[in-house]
Every structure is written in structure tokens, then in C-alpha cells.
Chains A and B, each alone.
Chain A
């Protein structure tokens, strides 16, 4: 089954002069999205359990994951790494926005 492409065609623009800054900013934002999702999930988990009279924090500290659970966690970490590194892996490079770049003029004009 073909998947929906996660990368668009064409190069990214480089806004910051130093190489990689735009890409790292993109990594950070993607990472932040993931952290945000996790925080929200944990928040909801705590509320759900609280409503059932369970106190999660102490139970988490005492818990040992088994082998299957550890594998599940490892797969999740790999997915996270792929997401965070999306702009660095298989990227097609950047396009400069120097003063003389034609992209400053509309493509349709030229």
C-alpha cells in the first residue's frame, strides 16, 4: 500500500544564514508537538484514574515494564526519533533567499 507522502516536492527555504538552523527549528517544533501530546495524555490519564480513586504517581515510580512492554516503548522511541529528524534525513537541501534570488519576484512574472 502506498502511503501519503510526508515530504513535499521541492526544496525548503533557508531563512537563517547558518546551515541547518531552519531545520533544527523544525525539529524543535516537531519535538514540542510530541511533548505536548504526551503531556496532554498523561494529564488525561491522571484525571481518568483519579476519577476511579487510583493514585497514579506512586504506582508509576514502583512499576517495572516486562519484555513485551519494553519493546513497545522502544518502537515508540524510534517513531519519535523519525518524527524529530524528519528534516535532516533524506532532505533535498535548501534554497537561499539572498537579495538577488529570483524567488523574491513572482514566478509568474519572470
Chain B
């Protein structure tokens, strides 16, 4: 029987029907995010923007654009279909995970690899994880359906496979590959020994750090036990050693100055502002002098065209991402200087996808300047650019 698109020891067998439903939802998402979103943009440019100009109304903020579109049919259709597609992402993977629940939980973890798993059953889970079903995922990251369950990890892994319609790379690790290889190639004298990934979920974007820096020790933390159990088993099966630990990133148990790299991806925008500030101070504390904080995130509002800001913030209005818009409004350089980093040591980059373009093209793109447009931070087969920002610690 066929498995998920990416083979590893935790992949589950899929029936032809599973595969057909998943393929449909991927196609639907791709259609919504490209064709329907282009239709919406065209409607905005040709009708809404013009009408507002005629009436002397300027649409200066993403909220202005949002309000101007609330009654527009293309906006309603786009939003309604996108919501359904998001719900279906989880729906079409749950049957197969339920069917394989026992076999998944009973699968022996490969022990020929030196990665570890350390859980903390006393850790108090933060409200941003337990309080609501983030991006409409039933059960989010932490739900356990039986003792020591790892199925939430399987749901996440499988749902990302459907959700990404290929845009996260064949092994769902393009973001980590892109950001790790950026550090490797842009700072070739830097030789990190200790690397930390915060909010790692199942480690999709943790593993490429171990591949890009084979001499380094890689640690990954998350608050949710099921995704860590699954991530550990998956990494062991792939022979990539990572130390997965259950820990709150805004209150880490690590010593001061322990890591050369503190990395995260798609993490900061899921934190309440207070936890975000605490996390960044913790990141500064656990970094060695000469180490770097480096994170993949949504591009900041102040760098993006106003329509793109409206378009991106759809998620905060309608996709259960309550902190996302507030996060993007901030000045990222200031966020980091408030956490202790020197303003002059701020770094940021918009990067082509490493596993798509290959090492040579990626390297030559590093000399270019940053581009903030409709391909930045979006999932687009035409050539997504990931946005990274961070700072060196003196």
C-alpha cells in the first residue's frame, strides 16, 4: 500500500481513497490560494479601489481594504471556500490516523540513532495552545486520545502534507533547509556546535539543521507531548539525531549561553505578546556571545504593500490565528532590541526556497537585496520567498 508522500518510519499506509481525497483538498487549496485570490485582487483593483477613489475615500490600511471588501462577492466566496478547504485538510487525514492509531502508538522507536526524547509531565501548557483550536485544527498540537498518545503528531504531519500542496518541499522541510543553509552559506566562518529549535512541533524544520551542520548537536523544544513523541520517532527512523524536549520556550530550563543558534519557524506569530517578549529574552539569555537568533516568520507589515498586508491578515480575522496580526504590526528590529540584542546586529533576508532552487542558485541569490512582494511569505508555485529575521549576540 502507498504511504504519505514522504517515507519515514512513522508514515501511515493510505488507501487509494485516502490519497484521492487528500489530492483533492491539496488541489482545492492550491486553487483558492492562486486562482481565487487572483480573482479577488482583480476585483479589488478594477472595482472596489476605483469606487472608493471616486468617493474620495483612501484605503490606507489593511483594515480599510478588509472593510471595503466585506460585501464583495469574490471576498465572500474566497473566504468561504478557503475556510472549508482548511477544515477539510484535517478531515481527510483523520480517518487514516484513527485507523492506524494502535499501530502508530505501538511502533518501536528505532534506537540505532543517538537522538533522545525528554518529556515533562508537570509542564503547564500555555493558553495559546490549549485555549482554542489554532488554525482550525481540531485538537491542535497537544490533544491525547489515549495515554502516551502521539497521534496529534501524525495528524499534524499528514495535514501539513495536504495543506502545503507541495510548497514546503518533498520532505516538508524546505523552510528549515532554507534558513539553515542561509546561515551556512552567508556566514561560512561560523561553525555552530549547539543548535536549538523552539516550537518545533514534529521537527519538520529541525532536521535540516542537523543535515546542514553535521558536527553540531541539535535540540528541539515544544510544549506539546504528542508532537514531540511523534517527532522523536520520525527523526530516529530517518537516522537524524535530535534531542526533543518538552519545555516552554518563554521559560527555558537551559543554562545561560548554551547555544550558538536559536532558531524557530512559524512560531512567534502563535505566541501572545507577553510570551513572545519573554521568549525573545530567553533566546538572548541562552545564546552564547557570537551566537545568532534566526527565525522564519511572516514578513512585517511595515515592509509589505498594503494589499498584501490585508491578504496575509485574513488568517488573523478568520483562521483562528489571534496573535498573527498584532505580531506583524510590530517593528521586528525593536522587538529584538527590547530583548537585549543590539539594534546594529539585526539581520533579515527574503530567500528563495533551498530545496526547490538547489545549492548553486540559492548561493547566487544571497547577494541580491530583499524583496517584499506577493511572493514573500506566501505559498506560491511561482516562487515563494521565505522571510527570516534575527540578530547576532555580541
Contacts and interface: CB of A to CB of B under 8 A. Distances in A.
Given A4-B138, A8-B136, A33 B25 contact: yes
Contacts of B190: none
Contact of B17 (A32, A41, A99): A41
Given A26-B84, A33-B21, A108-B273, A6 B91 contact: yes
Contacts of A6: 90-91, 94, 138
The 10 A-B pairs at the shortest CB distance, nearest first, are namely A107-B322, A37-B20, A8-B133, A106-B325, A5-B138, A108-B326, A15-B76, A26-B84, A2-B145, A40-B20
Q: B interface, how many residues as a size bin?
A: 35 or more
Interface stretch (B63-71, B115-123, B211-219, B257-265): B63-71
B343 interface: no
Contacts of A5: 138-139, 143
B323 A22 contact: no
Contacts, number: 120
7 contacts: A15-B77, A15-B79, A15-B83, A97-B70, A99-B67, A106-B325, A108-B322
A12 B76 contact: no
Contacts of B356: none
Contacts of B137: 8
A32 B79 CA distance: 18
B151 interface: yes
A1 B70 contact: no
B13 interface: no
Interface string A48-83: 000000000000000000000000000000000000
A103 B20 contact: no
Contact of A13 (B75, B81, B83, B325): B83
- A6, A9, A108 interface centre (most CB from chain B within 10 Å): A108
Q: A interface, how many residues as a size bin?
A: 35 or more
A86 B87 CA distance: 11
Contacts of A8: 87, 90, 133, 136-138, 320
B36 interface: no
Contacts of A86: 91
A29 to B, nearest CB: 5
B283 interface: no
B88 interface: yes
Interface string B138-169: 11000101100001000100000000000000
B363 interface: no
Contacts of A107: 322-323
Given A4-B151, A8-B87, A37-B24, A25 B81 contact: yes
Contacts of B143: 4-5
Given A22-B83, A30-B84, 6 more contacts: A12-B83, A16-B76, A25-B80, A106-B316, A106-B322, A107-B322
Interface in B81-106: 81, 83-85, 87-88, 90-92, 94, 97-98, 101
B80 A15 contact: yes
Interface in B250-304: 272-273
A90 interface: no
A109 interface: yes
B88 A29 contact: yes
B132 interface: yes
B278 to A, nearest CB: 15
Contacts of A4: 94, 97-98, 138-139, 143, 145, 151, 155
Contacts of B338: none
B167 to A, nearest CB: 20
B16 interface: yes
A1 B66 contact: no
A88 B143 CA distance: 25
A36 to B, nearest CB: 4
Contacts of A12: 83
A83 B317 CA distance: 27
Interface string B18-29: 001101110010
Contacts of A41: 16-17, 20
B320 A10 contact: yes
Contacts of B324: 106
A10 B94 CA distance: 19
- B20, B85, B132 interface centre (most CB from chain A within 10 Å): B20
Nearest to B151: A4
